[in-house]
Structures are given as C-alpha cells and as structure tokens.
Amino acid sequence: MDRQYYNVVSLIRKKRDGGYLTKDEIKYLIDSYTKDELPDYQMSAFLMAVFLNGMNDEEASALAYSMLHSGIVVDLSSVPGVKVDKHSTGGVGDKLSLILAPIVAAAGVPVPMISGRGLGHTGGTLDKLESIPGFNVNLDLDAYEATIKKHNLVFIGQTEDIAPADKRIYALRDVTSTVECIPLIAGSIMSKKLAEGIDALVLDVKHGSGAFLKDVNESKKLGQRLVDIGLQFDKKVIAYLTNMDQPLGYAVGNWFEVVECIDCMKGKWPDDVREVTLLLSGAMIYLGDKADSVDEGVKLAEEMIASGKAYQKWIEIVGEQGGDVSMIENPDSYPKAEFSLEFKAEQDGYINSIDSYLVGMASLELGAGRKKKEAPVDPQAGIMLHKKLGDKIKKGETLLTLFTNKKPYLESAVQILKDAYGISNEQTEIKPMITHIIDKDGLRDFDYSTVPSLKR
C-alpha cells in the first residue's frame, strides 16, 4: 500500500486541542521523524501537546508500535525457550539486573537484556557493567544472538538499529521538558524491550523519593500502561510496584554496586535487595516456564544462589563479553577513588527518612553519573551507606562515606546531602518493599502470602 500523507500541522493541532490521533497518524509522525522529513521543532511541539493533553490507550500503543518498527525487531525464535527480560523504571542503587539476570539464566531461562545508561539521579546498568575493565556492551545484533544462544544471557546497549525513533525522541524530550509523561515513558520503554525479541517481561515500577515518578498513583498509571502495551503485543507481562523510599542496598555508584552484586550472588544480601531481586527473578522464571508459580520461581532462584550456579553464570558472561574476571574474583584489587569523606549524623536517634533523590544527586555530583549526556562517568565514584531506614544512630556516627577522584566534589556533595536524612527519637515503621502487582488480571495490592518463600 502506498504511504498515506497527513498534514503535520493538523496532527499537532488535533493533539493540542485534546483530540486523539489514529494509529496511522501516529505512525506517520514517527516514520516521518525517523526519515528526517519532520523537523525537531514540529516533533517537540507535538511532544509538549502530548505531555499536557495525554494519550489514550490506543495512541500509547500506536506510539510504542511505531517506535518499535522504526528499527529492527530482533527475531530470537532460533533460541530455544521462553525469552524473558526485566525492566526497572530506575532508582538509586538499583543494581538488580546484574544479580537477577545470571540467576534466571542459570535457571534455564534465556535473558536477552538491552539496558540504558544512567540518567539524572539514577544509575544505569550499562555504566555499572562498564566499570568492569574490558566489559563490552557494544555487541552487534549477530553477536547478541550468538551470545544468548551460548549462555542464555547477554547484556547490550541500545544499538542504532533498535528503535531509532525512540533514541531521537528520548534525546529531544530531555532538552524540551517533556520527560515525565506516562505515554511517552511507556512508549520509550516498550519499543526498546519489544525490539529485543522477548516473549515475556517483568517490570519493576518504582515509586518514592528515589524514583522518577515519586507518586504511587502515577506509578500505577505507568505500570498499567506498560502492562497493557505488553499484552497487546502478545507478551506475558507482570509488573510490580516497589518502594524506593531509600536507596536499594548499601552501595550507590558503579563499581561499588558491582561489588555489592557479587556479594549478593554469594548469598550475602541486604534485605531490601534480596526481597525485590528474588521476587523479580521468581516471576521471570515463572514466565519463562521453568516454575509453576512465582513462589516456585523464587525457590529456584534461591537454589541458583545457594548452588553457586548464578555466580558461575555471572563469571561466564563477564568473561564472554570481555570483562576482567580477576576483578570479579578479587574485587579488592580494583583501584580506589583518590578522595573520600565520612558524612556523619548530627544527632542521636532513629533514621526515619532518607531522600534517595538527594543521595542519587550527590553520587552524580561525585562523578558516578552524568551532568551532560554522553559525558564519561567515574566508575570509582559513589557513596556507601552505613545505615538504612529504621537503624539507630548516634551523633558523630558515619551515615555515608563519599568517594570521588575530584576533591571539590566532596564539599558540593555534602551540600546536596545536608537535608537528606530525617532522624528522630521515635522509630517509625518501615514500609513493605513491594506494594502492588499488575498483570493480565489488573492492578491489586501485593499480597506477601502469595509468595511465602520471600520470607527469610
């Protein structure tokens, strides 16, 4: 069929006036933009109109569909098994992909993982992997397919072939204040994930102080939209809404997080990391048909840790993708950041709040994140937490240790952190990590009794 033509100004006007675009109209906009026939200034006006007037379900699906088909959709049908990936909307200290991918792959489920870099206050899986000397995330699609066939696992970044429209729109949103928009976020996530060649997807939608969407209601909407799009594309999907009221685990910063992951794979878990990682792993194993329930999946995940098979899978993939395995086996040999500073409590009491956003921003300030796109990150920079929510602290005790290779950043990071901790005499109750589940049966509160194996 001949390509249909639309008047772009009229399409922008329709969205501006609160109307809804057809699938063909959205496809026309995205195709034209990908082919450089539609200039940035028209796309940015359209994105702002979408930001302010929203999109309905059909439009959001059409957007994901059009961005997906702006590039190659990888065909992994030659890889046996149900291919499952996980996506997190991002949070501070969120290193879970690095732990759960080897667990799930070790359990027999192929995990084709295309990840992103850190953005704003949140870290990115690629930056963490690249802190391992030699680790190559820039595989082409042939190497991607060969690697998952061989190891049930592969880690790569978004190539030029994968959803190029998303790549350009993502960059444009960043400079036009159109980032925090549910249909645009959902389209961006799902176009990339659907291009990987997956059969199933587990989503971790964060809320709380360290998340992009702090409000749980916004996270519910995003989670629902992500699940809806996945189901429309005939994928098996489960989304969990999880709490990001404090950084995940104790390590924030690229290499620090890799080290924490190695500990986890050896069974030395921070409670919060353990709970979410095992749940997500269990769900992936369940969707990958290697367990009859999420709970059975969690049990199998624990076996992968206990048996050392997950750690073995990790060593295997690090080696395959060019990483220096000796650093994984002996993390103490890794070079240290030149400067450090202990950030201390100014009063006695219980830690009742940690502003994860500020911890993330301080880590970025120290060099672990990017102030500008494409800037390099410092793998040695970051923050180690000594105490978490609910812990008792004495005045003068260390809350955090900051690490950087640029001394002045210590002072500016301290400035950022000065209001990050809430300490009081009363110990408040810690909220549960996992709050809601969304799947084909809709949204409901998460019921811990359905996954008894999560209990320690």
List active site positions. Answer: 87, 166, 173, 188, 192
Q: Give every strand in the sheet of 236-243, ordered side by side.
A: 84-88, 200-207, 236-243, 434-439, 442-445
The continuous run of DSSP H or E covering 422 comes out as strand 421-424
Binding site for its own copies (CB under 8 A): 8-10, 12-13, 16, 39-45, 47-49, 51-53, 172, 174-178
Q: What's the N-to-C CA distance of the chain in angstroms? A: 59
What number of CA atoms fall less than 13 Å from residue 373's CA on the CB side?
Answer: 9
Q: What's the one-letter identity of residue 201?
A: L
Q: Phi/psi at 401 (nearest 5 deg)? A: -115, 130
Could you tell me the smallest distance in angstroms from the CB atom of residue 39 to its own copies?
7
Q: Are 115 and 97 in contact (CB under 8 A)?
A: yes
19 vs 80 by CB, closer to its own copies: 19
187 vs 382 by CB, closer to its own copies: 187
119 vs 141 by CB, closer to its own copies: 119
Q: Are 93 and 211 in contact (CB under 8 A)?
A: no
Q: Are 357 and 246 in contact (CB under 8 A)?
A: no
Alpha helices in 176-235 (DSSP H): 182-195, 216-232
Alpha helices in 246-270 (DSSP H): 254-265
What number of CA atoms fall less than 13 Å from residue 152's CA on the CB side?
Answer: 23
170 vs 256 by CB, closer to its own copies: 170
The continuous run of DSSP H or E covering 443 comes out as strand 442-445
What number of CA atoms fall less than 13 Å from residue 421's CA on the CB side?
Answer: 28
